[in-house]
Amino acid sequence: MSKAEHILTSNTRNIRSRRKGGFLGTRGIVVLLALIALLLFVFVTQPQMRETIEAWISLVTG
């Protein structure tokens, strides 16, 4: 095996074995989803928002 073949085979092996994670790992995605859920919960439980949601629901249901 020539030196060039050896470099090519080792590089393709490293590319395949590398983890293809995005910007966030699994832990980051879980934390992000938890924060979004918490913010939505706090936002929806505000009295003004509750009234707005009830008004929208009454428009749909009649």
Q: For the chain, what percent of residues have pLDDT higher than 70?
A: 79
19 pLDDT above the threshold of 60: no
Structure tokens that stand for 16 in this block = 């395949």
Place of tokens 């939505």: 40
Element (H, E) at 58: helix 47-61
Structure tokens that stand for 25 in this block = 């790992």
Structure tokens that stand for 20 in this block = 């293809």
Within a 10 A sphere around the Cβ of 13, how many other Cβ atoms? 10
What would the mean pLDDT of 7-34 be, rounded to a whole number?
74
How far apart are alpha carbons 57 and 48 in whole angstroms? 14
30 pLDDT above the threshold of 80: yes
Specify the pLDDT at position 36.
97
